Amino acid sequence: MSSPSQLPKVWVARTFPPEGMAKLATKCHVVVHEGALAPSRQEILDGVRGAHALFIYPHVKVDKELLDTAGQQLKVIGTFSVGLDHIDLDLCKERGIKIGYTPDVLTTSTAEQAITLVMATARRMGECISSVKEGVWGTTWDNAMWLAGAEISGSVIGMVGLGRIGLAIAKRLAAFEVSKILYTGRNPKPELANPIGAEFVTFDQLLEQSDFVIVACSVNDSNKGLFDEAAFKKMKRSAILVNISRGVVIDQDALYDALKSGEIGAAGLDVTTPEPLPPSSPLLALPNCLVTPHIASCTVTTRNAMCDLVVENIFAGLEGRPLKTPVF
Ligand code: NDP
Ligand code: DGY
């Protein structure tokens, strides 16, 4: 049995499923950031120093400073995410550092959370639950339109991003007998869109026509701040916005104004800026805004599958084999 100092060091940015950690420890000297809170930047830099592999998640920004601090022995980074906006991919490629990520295994769970947010915002679940807890129910149920919601059936769905997750969401919504599915993006994707009858439109057309606008794109320079004041003005006043992508796609101040003034109907967000969203955020005081804490992929099955994949990718990278799910 090798002593820890002979094994490659893997720095692990937070606690992940124990089975995966045990597997990692069979071949590596595992150093886990323990603690109730996400690691601070300084803790991250201290942790990565001298590591041969990193097991990270989107909170850990991989940039020049981090790579320089880690050192030249760093061979592979496994991120517990399909999103890659936290990693300077060009720089990693330039330095020959392999990157593994977790596509596909989280598509179903993330799509299911998007559907949860669509249904919960459409049927005003936040308000329903608090009205019962606060004892408002008895006094207002005599009004037939009290807490009246929106129907998914017959509605126009607008998908911003028809990638793996966007397509999985659209397929599930099709089963609700929606009237139309629109999608927008940098390129039309007829091979994905045609089987579900989705129609490629411009961003503006999508905003103008959709009852539910669902953001499922990856983040890049084309879509940071995409949902700004002008975008909200183009949406229907009854429109519901759901975001499972990343918080930066939405200008949150503009969203607050749009929700408060009735420019749009409601929003369901699994991702925000910053994360965690502080309890003092004005968004949380709005009855027509539901926020979940970036847990779209968080089912037991998916989280274990993600962990297994990251471990596999790290082993492959350390042993000089092709990664199972490489980014490049
Ligand atoms: P994919 O790469 O399969 O899909 C991303 C899609 O985004 C592509 O189809 C791409 O289209 C599209 N896109 C890029 N830029 C734009 C734009 N400006 N407007 C519209 N569409 C655009 O990735 P996944 O579907 O697997 O994942 C998508 C994202 O979801 C991840 O990158 C991550 O940020 C987020 N995510 C969040 C989770 C959560 O817990 N909330 C869980 C998992 C993922 P094109 O080819 O035309 O550029
Ligand atoms: C992702 O995969 O990008 C999520 O944000 C984390 O599950």
pLDDT surpassing 80 at residue 254: yes
Helix, strand, or coil here: 257? helix
- The 10s digit of each residue's pLDDT in 171-219 is 999 999 999 999 999 999 999 999 999 999 999 999 999 999 999 999 9
Answer whether 249's CB lies under 8 Å from 267's CB: no
CA distances from 266 to 34, 117, 209, 273, 316 (A): 37, 11, 16, 18, 45
297 lines ligand 1 (CB under 6 A): yes
Percentage of residues in the chain with pLDDT exceeding 70? 98
Whole-number average pLDDT of the chain: 96
Is the whole-model pTM more than 0.90? yes
231 lines ligand 1 (CB under 6 A): no
For the beta carbon of residue 167, count every other beta carbon within 10 angstroms.
22
Instruction: For ligand 1, atom 31, name the residue with the nearest CA.
Output: 83
Overall average pLDDT of the 153-174 stretch: 98
Q: Helices (DSSP H) in 27-159: which residue ranges? A: 41-48, 64-70, 89-94, 107-122, 125-133, 137-140
For 33-50, the DSSP string reads: --SSSPPPHHHHHHHHTT
Ligand 2 center to residue 306 CA distance, Å?
A: 10
Amino acid in the structure at residue 186: R
Instruction: Report the pLDDT value the prediction gives residue 3, as an integer from 0 to 100.
Output: 67
Helix, strand, or coil here: 220? coil
Overall average pLDDT of the 291-305 stretch: 98
Ligand 1 center to residue 244 CA distance, Å?
A: 9
Instruction: Report the pLDDT value the prediction gives residue 201, as an integer from 0 to 100.
Output: 98
213 lines ligand 1 (CB under 6 A): no
For the beta carbon of residue 63, count every other beta carbon within 10 angstroms.
12
Instruction: Report the pLDDT value the prediction gives residue 141, as an integer from 0 to 100.
Output: 65
Which listed ligand is nearest to 164 at the C-alpha?
A: 1
Ligand 1 center to residue 6 CA distance, Å?
A: 40
218 lines ligand 2 (CB under 6 A): no
297 lines ligand 2 (CB under 6 A): yes
pLDDT surpassing 60 at residue 1: no
Q: State how far the Cα of 106 lies from the Cα of 100, in Å rounded to an integer.
A: 14
Instruction: Report the pLDDT value the prediction gives residue 34, as an integer from 0 to 100.
Output: 86
| Domains detected in the chain | 9-102+300-319 (3.40.50.720), 106-291 (3.40.50.720)
- The 10s digit of each residue's pLDDT in 126-139 is 999 999 999 888 76
Which listed ligand is nearest to 60 at the C-alpha?
A: 2
Hey, which residues are catalytic here?
A: 294
